[in-house]
Amino acid sequence: MKSRTDHQGLSALFPNELSDLISQEPLFRGRQLFTWLAGGTFKFEEMKNLPTALRRTLIDRYGETACTSKVVKQQTDTDGTVKLLLKLYDGLFVESVLLTDEEGRRTACLSSQVGCAMGCTFCRTAELGLERNLTASEIVEQFYHLTEIAGQPSHIVFMGMGEPLANIYETARSIEIFHFSEGLNISARRITLSTCGIPEGIRFLAESFSVPIRLAVSLTSADNDLRTSLMPINRKAPLPELHESLLYYQNIRKKRITLEYVLLDGVNDSETACRQLVQFAKGLECVVNVIPWNPGAGLPYNEPTRDSTERFCSCLEHAGLRVTRRYRRGRGISGACGQLAGSGTSPHHIQPVMQTNE
């Protein structure tokens, strides 16, 4: 087992690993501890089937709770979207969002890093730069905080702050925990990882990762030069290389890939851009998710109009592509795609009260 220091938390450990941590105890104690954590009980004092002495030991070692993060602010949008600001063990902040849709899906939008190093020019999180990777426990804890405040999510998407494939070990472990049959047991079909397009990471998911999750790739332009100017990762992994890694993934996983396309007014919404996207999608079993750009203060873009969004989507559909439009959920609380910038929030501005945006 990878040695884990105390701040790395307990919520991303499997029963046998928890047993290792309390090796003076009988083996089944690890499973008991796991069951409490998987059920959302983090306070050691409430773990009634653990002997008092063991509870004491755990409290001495980890404090009152096994949770390493805490909710310092919660906001609810009129459309039901809930956004949480979490304070991490070292004082940094991260945000998580719960989106509810008409079909009753309750999607936890989780962060994988504090900030992000990818530098996409249309994304507010990018402005923060990268502070650090989240631990797997910090990722798992986001799910439990959302559950406690807003009810248990049915789906998980890694579309919050950060680039999950740039923190692949901790992200993969958190997914294994979410999927573990003795724990939350969330189906792989209900977990989506969104990446800006890191080919090594995509190949890892294809060949070495045990959980067959869904893959979404943020394309945003199928013009190599334009994509490089919008998404610096494209310099390192240009479109042909990305395409090749997607074909590889598809050949192994036999799964439909989502191509996310953030629509920026007058930048990537022309007929030519549509044709380039159609060309890129050739050979891929994919669905294009068109996301009208969500404004971020100071970013030099404009939202596409409804008409131009529809025109772009129809152009793709006429060419035979499957298209979905993303709802603009959570915008009233800056909780929509690309609007998460919570770690930049100074502690002085945090109100420890429930805010409802109505």
The residues of the shown chain that bind ligand SAH, judged by CB under 6 A, are 118, 120, 122-123, 159, 163, 194-196, 218, 220, 260, 262, 291, 293-294, 296, 337-338
Bridge partner list, 322: 287
**CB-wise, 29 or 124, nearer to ligand SAH?**
124
Output the CA torsion 228→259→217→227 (10° steps).
0
CB of 299 to ligand SAH, least distance (A): 7
In the set 95, 131, 138, 260, the catalytic residue is 95
CB of 3 to ligand SAH, least distance (A): 29
The CA distances from residue 332 to 44, 83, 274, in Å, are 37, 11, 30
Q: In sequence order, which residues have a C-beta less than 8 Å from that of residue 348 and are 6 or more positions away?
A: none
**CB-wise, 183 or 338, nearer to ligand SAH?**
338
19 close to 25: Cβ distance less than 8 angstroms: yes
260 is catalytic: no
DSSP 70-113: EEEEEEE-TTS-EEEEEE-TTS-EEEEEEEE-TT--EEEE---E
143 close to 110: Cβ distance less than 8 angstroms: yes
Bridge partner list, 260: 218, 289
**CB-wise, 80 or 232, nearer to ligand SAH?**
232
337 is catalytic: yes
CB of 22 to ligand SAH, least distance (A): 36
CB of 116 to ligand SAH, least distance (A): 6
**CB-wise, 32 or 195, nearer to ligand SAH?**
195
Q: Which residues are catalytically annotated?
A: 95, 337
